[in-house]
Chain A
């Protein structure tokens, strides 16, 4: 090991004693720096690809075809404020009515959701086919799994009840399924309640980067675009082949993306298939959302990480990107560990080592601001969307970064606690803010 220091720092190598803990901690820090650098470079690559790369929209121009039979699930748990708007939008969709089955999935609602759905069933006989669920395992995965028996046709599209799809969206989501390799399709989610407060504005920046840059770049580079569980669809035969929805998973979308990929099915992202959604307006709601994502994502990592790496159906580039994607909710912990290691090394007298690592670590920490969207991805996304002034809010994403980091650490802690205590997973529903629809 002294050789390592001699080579790296020939002048200072003898200036301080090299103890075993220093060597171990330095090695760990080096690993963390390399991994965070990999994420930083990945985000940079994605940003450059969106600016200068060839953009892939291979299915967007399919405007005439024998459209496949499509079942649209509207996932609804206590959604009285928004369910009517979603059903109205899907009823107005430009999709052959005889090929479209609309199934609002009323999952154990205790408000007027079921009543509103029944009103629509009466008003649109044959077009609205409700699926009421009064018990069973809580959560969207479990509800969708049960509702699958009500589906017709080859494709299942899923919308959360707060989404209002545009008229042409269903065809845009159905078109990629003409490609026999496509197992799932994901559209772009766009926050509707941007102007509410600083949190919603930050989430707007984050979503914009996540979809406009990150997802589309992964599509362009033939990596692993992610199915998001809403504004998307899944091919039924593919879903059946990988075992259907898994009710034990907190993030059914990530779970489905990876299980499909391991079986050779691709997920396609269509950036121009935009749909408005509500983002959390309160920090506690946001924290719960991030915790759920973190727990679910890490659940997929633990369950399928090794199998994914060993799958013969996955390309090398997908393997690397998929692994980075799976570990995205581990990285804030790694970053935190890196900072703690840096402090520990300082007190162990290895300041010369830190001099080399700290700028890189700081750069990579900066590049992962916002946790899900590096700052340059946000900049490029805002640029591509044609919004200019909102980029001024970029420094505030620092706040979101620390909140996310705390939420993810809590999620990991509670996951470990649950494993020890044997407690089951708890589904947290995201609150809705829209005013109730007039009855």
Chain B
């Protein structure tokens, strides 16, 4: 072959390689096969009782049929025996789940759900009145005006602010103001016991709230939060790592962790008037703690009997 022919061959090959990706591109342009917008569900609302509502609608419409494996619809109370398993259940009264029983998809009761020891509540569980989980139960997503874990014998501590000493977040070492009443501290912070603070605090290290102290605001720490025994945070507690809410402590706002939340006995999150959310990868709750609203463990929630 002549050099000219070699050059032409080289140029032709190069052009062909460059043009090759444009062939499917051209085809897709000329005859589109995948040109719809990404689907966005205009009616999407994050409701824990979504499936229960659907089932209720199908019962009302007369299209519900009881068959093995289908969600159970119970008019009034319903009891699942020890070791029993269900895919899903809706009870218009109370729902009692025996020891070692398992709900695999969802459970909803218009009244109260009581789950005995070693029960497993996968996916969602919601109730119109309350959910009561015994020790050694595991869960993922719970929602009710009142969610109790284990025995509720421990009396809630008296929350009297009269003897608290008023302190200023701005006085914390290394504190910078992000906005009026909004502060950030680089490093770790230990708030003393029996103090009262007003304002919101962001900590780049770990935060420890002293026993019986009260914060009228939100707190966030990147490396860990401990809310001391009997302490109160009247806003949010957020953390990129673990949050420990110790014995008798109260958090009124959401508890948001990117790893774990540990609730000790007598700890309370939310109030009956203002239910809220606890969300984390893992949630470990001691017997005697309670929450109002949602308790959502993305991986695993466990109730244990604290000794």
Chain A residues within 8 Å of B, Cβ to Cβ: 56, 58-59, 61-66, 89, 94, 164, 166-168, 171-172, 178-181, 190-195, 198, 201, 204, 208, 237-238, 240-241, 263-265, 274-276, 312-313, 385, 387-390, 392-396
> Which residues of chain A are within 8 angstroms of B220 by Cβ–Cβ distance?
179-181
* Contact between B178 and A263, CB atoms less than 8 A apart: yes
Given A63-B46, A63-B48, A168-B46: A180 in contact with B277 (beta carbons within 8 A): no
* Contact between B42 and A166, CB atoms less than 8 A apart: yes
The CA of A66 and the CA of B273, in the complex, are separated in Å by: 9
Number of A-B contacts (CB under 8 A): 157
- Given A64-B277, A181-B184, 6 more A-B residue pairs with CB atoms under 8 Å apart are A63-B294, A166-B40, A168-B45, A238-B182, A395-B25, A396-B29
* Contact between A390 and B28, CB atoms less than 8 A apart: yes
* Contact between A58 and B279, CB atoms less than 8 A apart: yes
* Contact between A191 and B34, CB atoms less than 8 A apart: no
> Which residues of chain A are within 8 angstroms of B181 by Cβ–Cβ distance?
237
Residue among B37, B181, B217 with most chain A CB within 10 A = B37
* Contact between B45 and A167, CB atoms less than 8 A apart: yes
> Which residues of chain B are within 8 angstroms of A181 by Cβ–Cβ distance?
184, 202, 220, 238
Shortest distance from the beta carbon of B197 to any chain A beta carbon, whole Å: 13
Chain B 254-284, CB-CB to A under 8 Å as 1, else 0, gives 1011100000000000000011110100000
The CA of A64 and the CA of B176, in the complex, are separated in Å by: 31
In the complex, whether B210 has a CB less than 8 A from a CB of chain A is: no
> Which residues of chain B are within 8 angstroms of A387 by Cβ–Cβ distance?
34, 38
Which residue of chain A lies nearest to B42 when distances are taken between CB atoms in the complex? Answer: A166
* Contact between B176 and A313, CB atoms less than 8 A apart: yes
Shortest distance from the beta carbon of B103 to any chain A beta carbon, whole Å: 19
The CA of A241 and the CA of B257, in the complex, are separated in Å by: 27
A64: contacting residue among B25, B235, B276, CB under 8 A: B276
Chain B 176-193, CB-CB to A under 8 Å as 1, else 0, gives 101111101010000000
Size range of the chain B interface in the assembly: 35 or more
> Which residues of chain A are within 8 angstroms of B36 by Cβ–Cβ distance?
194-195
In the complex, whether B201 has a CB less than 8 A from a CB of chain A is: yes
Shortest distance from the beta carbon of A224 to any chain B beta carbon, whole Å: 16
In the complex, whether B219 has a CB less than 8 A from a CB of chain A is: yes
In the complex, whether B143 has a CB less than 8 A from a CB of chain A is: yes
* Contact between B200 and A179, CB atoms less than 8 A apart: no
Q: Can you list 27 A-B pairs with a CB-CB distance of less than 8 A?
A: A62-B254, A62-B256, A63-B294, A64-B277, A65-B275, A66-B274, A166-B40, A167-B42, A168-B44, A171-B46, A178-B218, A178-B253, A180-B217, A181-B184, A181-B202, A181-B220, A194-B37, A195-B36, A201-B29, A237-B182, A264-B202, A275-B40, A385-B38, A387-B34, A392-B25, A394-B21, A395-B22
Given A62-B279, A264-B184: A166 in contact with B256 (beta carbons within 8 A): no
> Which residues of chain B are within 8 angstroms of A204 by Cβ–Cβ distance?
37
Shortest distance from the beta carbon of B171 to any chain A beta carbon, whole Å: 18
> Which residues of chain A are within 8 angstroms of B41 by Cβ–Cβ distance?
166
Residue among B28, B33, B176, B178 with most chain A CB within 10 A = B178
Which residue of chain B lies nearest to A93 when distances are taken between CB atoms in the complex? Answer: B45
Interface residues in B1-54 (C-beta closer than 8 Å to A): 21-22, 24-25, 27-29, 32-38, 40-48
The CA of A59 and the CA of B33, in the complex, are separated in Å by: 36
The CA of A390 and the CA of B40, in the complex, are separated in Å by: 18
> Which residues of chain B are within 8 angstroms of A392 by Cβ–Cβ distance?
24-25, 27-28
The CA of A265 and the CA of B205, in the complex, are separated in Å by: 16
* Contact between A264 and B44, CB atoms less than 8 A apart: no
Given A392-B27, A393-B25: A167 in contact with B279 (beta carbons within 8 A): no
In the complex, whether B298 has a CB less than 8 A from a CB of chain A is: yes
Given A178-B218, A194-B35: A64 in contact with B294 (beta carbons within 8 A): yes
In the complex, whether B296 has a CB less than 8 A from a CB of chain A is: yes
In the complex, whether B236 has a CB less than 8 A from a CB of chain A is: yes
Shortest distance from the beta carbon of A277 to any chain B beta carbon, whole Å: 10
Chain B 136-151, CB-CB to A under 8 Å as 1, else 0, gives 0000010100000000
In the complex, whether B288 has a CB less than 8 A from a CB of chain A is: no
* Contact between A276 and B37, CB atoms less than 8 A apart: yes
Shortest distance from the beta carbon of B225 to any chain A beta carbon, whole Å: 12
> Which residues of chain A are within 8 angstroms of B47 by Cβ–Cβ distance?
63
Shortest distance from the beta carbon of B169 to any chain A beta carbon, whole Å: 11
Interface residues in B208-237 (C-beta closer than 8 Å to A): 217-220, 235-236
Residue among B41, B179, B180, B186 with most chain A CB within 10 A = B179
The CA of A390 and the CA of B94, in the complex, are separated in Å by: 51
* Contact between A180 and B44, CB atoms less than 8 A apart: no
The CA of A240 and the CA of B178, in the complex, are separated in Å by: 10
Which residue of chain A lies nearest to B275 when distances are taken between CB atoms in the complex? Answer: A64
> Which residues of chain B are within 8 angstroms of A179 by Cβ–Cβ distance?
218, 220, 236, 238, 256
Shortest distance from the beta carbon of B24 to any chain A beta carbon, whole Å: 4
Which residue of chain B lies nearest to A208 when distances are taken between CB atoms in the complex? Answer: B38
Shortest distance from the beta carbon of B7 to any chain A beta carbon, whole Å: 19
* Contact between B238 and A388, CB atoms less than 8 A apart: no
> Which residues of chain A are within 8 angstroms of B99 by Cβ–Cβ distance?
none
In the complex, whether B93 has a CB less than 8 A from a CB of chain A is: no
Interface residues in B117-155 (C-beta closer than 8 Å to A): 141, 143
> Which residues of chain B are within 8 angstroms of A396 by Cβ–Cβ distance?
22, 25, 29
* Contact between B294 and A180, CB atoms less than 8 A apart: no
Which residue of chain A lies nearest to B203 when distances are taken between CB atoms in the complex? Answer: A181
* Contact between B34 and A190, CB atoms less than 8 A apart: no
The CA of A171 and the CA of B277, in the complex, are separated in Å by: 13
* Contact between B38 and A180, CB atoms less than 8 A apart: no
In the complex, whether B111 has a CB less than 8 A from a CB of chain A is: no
Shortest distance from the beta carbon of B164 to any chain A beta carbon, whole Å: 21
* Contact between B238 and A64, CB atoms less than 8 A apart: no
* Contact between B35 and A201, CB atoms less than 8 A apart: yes
Which residue of chain A lies nearest to B24 when distances are taken between CB atoms in the complex? Answer: A392
Shortest distance from the beta carbon of A367 to any chain B beta carbon, whole Å: 15
Residue among A238, A264, A312, A389 with most chain B CB within 10 A = A264
The CA of A275 and the CA of B41, in the complex, are separated in Å by: 9
Which residue of chain A lies nearest to B293 when distances are taken between CB atoms in the complex? Answer: A64
> Which residues of chain B are within 8 angstroms of A385 by Cβ–Cβ distance?
38
Which residue of chain B lies nearest to A165 when distances are taken between CB atoms in the complex? Answer: B42
Shortest distance from the beta carbon of A171 to any chain B beta carbon, whole Å: 7
A-B complex: 7 closest residue pairs judged by Cβ atoms = A389-B34, A241-B179, A180-B218, A392-B28, A195-B35, A61-B279, A392-B24
The CA of A396 and the CA of B23, in the complex, are separated in Å by: 11
Shortest distance from the beta carbon of B78 to any chain A beta carbon, whole Å: 25
